A and B are shown apart, each in its own frame.
Chain A
Amino acid sequence: MFDAKTLKQVCDGTAEWSEKVKGGAGGAQEPRRFSTVSDLEIKPLYTPDDTKDLDFAETIGHPGSFPFTRGCQPDMYRGRVWTFRMFSGFGSAEDTNRRYHHLLTHGETGLSIAYDYPSLMGYDSDSPRSHAEIGKCGVAIDSLADFEVLMDGIPLGDVTVSHTINPPATIMWAMNLALAEKQGVGWNRLGGTIQNDMLKEFIAQKTFMCPIEPSVRLVRDTIEFGSKHVPRWNTVSISGYHMREAGATAVQELAFTLADGITYVQDVLDHTGMEVDVFAPRLSFFFDSHIDFFEEIAKFRAARRIWARVMKERFKAKNPRSLWMRFHTQTAGCSLTAQQPLNNVVRTATEALAAALGGTQSLHTNSYDETLALPSDQAVTVALRTQQIIAEETGVTNTIDPLAGSYFVEALTREMEEKALDYIEKIDKMGGMLAAIDQGFPQLEIADAAYRYQRQLDSNTKTLVGVNKYVTEAKAPIELLKINEKLEEEQVKRVNEVKRTRDNRMVSQALGDVRRACKGGENVMPHVIEAVKAYATEQEICDVYREVFGEYRDPGFF
């Protein structure tokens, strides 16, 4: 981007500057290594020399145009700021419904359901496996009856709902579809997301139920059903967040997420006969925003560029929307500390700012108390206000992709891209992500990175304020949210009541139809919708999946 004369001046200047730095460092000292939180080495200075071979049109371009480095939409936040979407759920459906109304009243613009562990794993509240876990890490949902309470007073045609749900994603989506029908909202105008990314479960989040292949088949059924019947729904949110939280570096998060995306696209092409441009526009993504500010911004920009190229070159997509990488971001839970919890407000704000500068479509900001408990009303309000301040006070939304052209940011974006492509090539050579997971490859790469980081903290090579530096004994006086101990009893009563009052003949017929679809190749979705409408419980449907497909056992790689 610079002429030869300018570049020569730059290089001469850099040589001169380098001498000055050496002179100041005291000669023989071992130079200190500067690196990102992911341990990626960073140079002291970036100049036009680092970006001299970047072709503007090929690598940067304009927002809304290939390769979308600068954003998917042409107008980005000037058209509409990202969705304020707080991941939220605890206790009973009533408790969480109250929290949703609280958040919407305070300016939240989209909902995101956090389910409790039994719901995430396909157990009802009356299962022995659910004991002591009900309503603790999210809301307890056993059947459509609970879901109706959860969404009471929420117009599904106006507010998009995101479900963090994976093995039982077909079921929670079916509840959402059934309730939309009851509210008179046509599926053709229903927006929302199911996370439904099973590959990252095996790699990192570890809420798995059935073995890998049938798990991917259920994902495929939802993609196919959504493309035909619920055109505005994101049927999968291909997620790097959980890998990062499990210890992945930024490059690993980027590479493994994209490799998962490639796997889903190929799987749908191989099995359904749908054209890529029919389903690709509804594939969405989900990333972590960690504490290393520039590394994250570079990661987001690289992610859009790689995906656009993959879709165009590898899958021959023609619809520009197929090339869009739209993503949700959550600030990094793993960057927060139990020590001096109010410091977490600052971490979250920094991470949220990186997400905004990286061009996210939707954002969750963590609450300062989340390393100790589910967030209190006060903590979640501060977290929501954090993104509102960034969006509406700081001015960072005035112009699109403001860091483009920075020598450092462009060089780092390219470095993230190159390193991620190396991983993707390696995974391709292993026979794709399914084979790689079987061999424990991504799991062990992430475990290595997590262990290295822990060692760096232990040896004070990396700093975590309040943990290995600036440590104090004083405890911050913060009020934590407590889950009602009576909830378990009430929830068990509730699911039993549902089973007693519904038409059990209809339920067993619907479950029989689900079983038949699982065994044959027919799409399960229409049958799951019938089953939830008949008030079949989540576990009853998951038991059919477990019976037909079997269960996955954690190989326990470490």
Chain B
Amino acid sequence: MVPTTKLRVLVAKPGLDGHDRGVRVIARGFRDAGYEVIYTGVHQTPEQIVSTAIQEDVDLVGLSCLSGAHLFLFGEVVRQLREKGAGDITVVGGGIIPDEDIPKLKEAGIKQVFLPGTSLDEIMKWTEENVTPAGMREESMQ
């Protein structure tokens, strides 16, 4: 089988907050950059996001939260991914996130936090440098 080298990205809105302007701009940015993009829609539970991530076999999960519930919700997504043996999926996050919470999120396994004002180009560049498609990850393991 030819390994997939195209990154698959899931962008997701955990929790009850409906602010989806940023997440949808980012979904388009990934699509325009040539990635395969799945967007969950708003009001997802961490369980739903984890199940979609595994089912869709994604390489990167981008979480967006503007309600202040990020510490619990983001951490819960990483925890449940690991519990289901999908800890190799990279998880990043963004939204209204106080500076003091960034180290806590990183400790919980969020690889990178993107704050308001980040350009799409910065996010795409970071992704290119830090996320490896599953097909290539497996290849390099052989």
Contacts and interface: CB of A to CB of B under 8 A. Distances in A.
Interface of A: 117-118, 120-121, 123, 129-133, 136-137, 201, 205-207, 245-247, 334, 337-339, 371-373, 447, 450-451, 454-455, 457-458, 464, 467-468, 480, 483, 553-558
A558 B24 CA distance: 5
Given A117-B16, A131-B72, A556-B41, A458 B120 contact: yes
B3 interface: no
A118 B21 CA distance: 20
A447 B26 CA distance: 11
Nearest to B99: A475
Interface residues of B, number: 34
B120 A455 contact: yes
Interface of B: 15-21, 24-25, 27-29, 31, 37, 39-43, 45, 67-69, 71-73, 96, 98, 115-117, 119-121
Nearest to A137: B67
Contacts of B69: 117, 131-133, 136
Contact of A137 (B17, B21, B42, B73): B17
* Secondary structure dominating the interface of B: loop
B21 A245 contact: yes
Contacts of A121: 16, 43
Contact of A206 (B42, B73, B119): B42
Contacts of B43: 121, 206, 554
Contacts of A123: 16
A129 B16 CA distance: 8
A339 B117 contact: yes
B116 A371 contact: yes
Query: Which 3 A-B residue pairings sit nearest by Cβ, starting from the closest?
Result: A206-B18, A554-B41, A556-B41
B21 A450 contact: yes
Contacts of A558: 24, 27-28, 31, 37, 39
Contacts of B21: 245-247, 334, 450
Nearest to B11: A558
26 contacts: A117-B16, A117-B67, A117-B69, A129-B45, A130-B16, A132-B69, A132-B72, A133-B16, A136-B67, A137-B67, A137-B68, A206-B43, A207-B18, A246-B20, A334-B21, A338-B96, A371-B96, A373-B96, A447-B24, A447-B28, A454-B29, A464-B117, A468-B119, A483-B68, A554-B43, A558-B27
A557 B28 CA distance: 10
Contacts of A447: 24-25, 28
A70 B37 CA distance: 48
B28 to A, nearest CB: 5
Given A373-B98, A458-B120, A450 B68 contact: no
A118 B40 contact: no
Contacts of A207: 16, 18
A372 B101 CA distance: 12
Contacts of B119: 457-458, 468
Contacts of A337: 116-117
A240 B71 CA distance: 31
A123 B17 CA distance: 13
